[in-house]
Amino acid sequence: MASYQISSKVNRAETDVLVVYCSDHRFQAGLYEFLNLALNLNENYDLLVLPGGPQCLTLMEYLPKFSWAGWKWFRFLVEKHELKRLILIAHQDCGWYKELPFHLHASSEPRHRQEVDLHRVKQALAKDFPELHVELYYAGWDANDRVTVEAISA
Ligand SMILES: [Zn+2]
């Protein structure tokens, strides 16, 4: 059986941060850089990566079982690790959003739908996790294909 010796050491520090974003391979390197260099998280955060990212926390009417699973994982991490800071990232050209029925949103414009969802999650969390500080971001790319990340304000 192959064995790999990695130079990284296990991280023994506690974290109080959870990041939720989409599986899309196009953004992984850019988001890694954003989290570790721009936000200075130093590779010290829990991560929930799944298609559509934070959208899994809004699916109650459309896909209740997915929503249940999303909240179950989310609640597990926040409670077990006593997390204080939540970073939710949506992204440009998200394939998951192309599959969603339009009646779930008032707008057909993808970015608007994603921003509405980010705010919906933030609002839902304010009730159950009032101590959690929630940050919303939108990732995309510029004319040179460099990944861009914008903070979404309330
Ligand atoms: Zn996506």
Tell how far the Cα of 143 is from the centroid of ligand 1, in angstroms. 20
Largest Cα span, the chain: 53
- Residue 23 Cα to ligand 1 middle (Å): 6
Tokens 């921003």: give the residue.
115
Asked if 19 contacts 84 with a C-beta cutoff of 8 angstroms, the reply is no
Tokens of 99: 């599959």
Q: What is residue 32's predicted lDDT score, i.e. its pLDDT? A: 98
Distance between Cα 1 and ligand 1 center (Å): 34
Q: What is the pLDDT along the chain (154 residues), one digit of tens a residue?
A: 899 999 999 999 999 999 999 999 999 999 999 999 999 999 999 999 999 999 888 866 667 788 888 899 999 999 999 999 999 999 999 999 888 776 667 777 889 989 999 999 999 888 889 999 999 999 999 999 999 999 998 6
How far does residue 111's CA lie from ligand 1's centre (Å)? 12
pLDDT at 95: 94
Alpha carbon of 99 to ligand 1 centroid (Å): 11
Residue 61's pLDDT is 67
Domain boundaries, the chain: 17-152
Q: Which CATH architecture has domain 17-152?
A: 3-Layer(aba) Sandwich (3.40)
For the stretch 15-57, pLDDT in tens is 999 999 999 999 999 999 999 999 999 999 999 999 999 988 8
Q: Which of 54, 48, 44, 39 is nearest to 12 (CA)?
A: 44
Rounded CA-CA distance 55/53 in Å is 5
d(CA 119, CA 141): 22
CA of 5 to the centre of ligand 1 (A): 32
**What's the predicted TM-score (pTM) here?**
0.92
What is the Cα–Cα distance from 138 to 17, expressed in whole angstroms? 18
CA distance linking residue 15 with residue 42, whole number of Å: 10
Q: What angle do CA 128, 126, 100 make, to 5 degrees?
A: 90
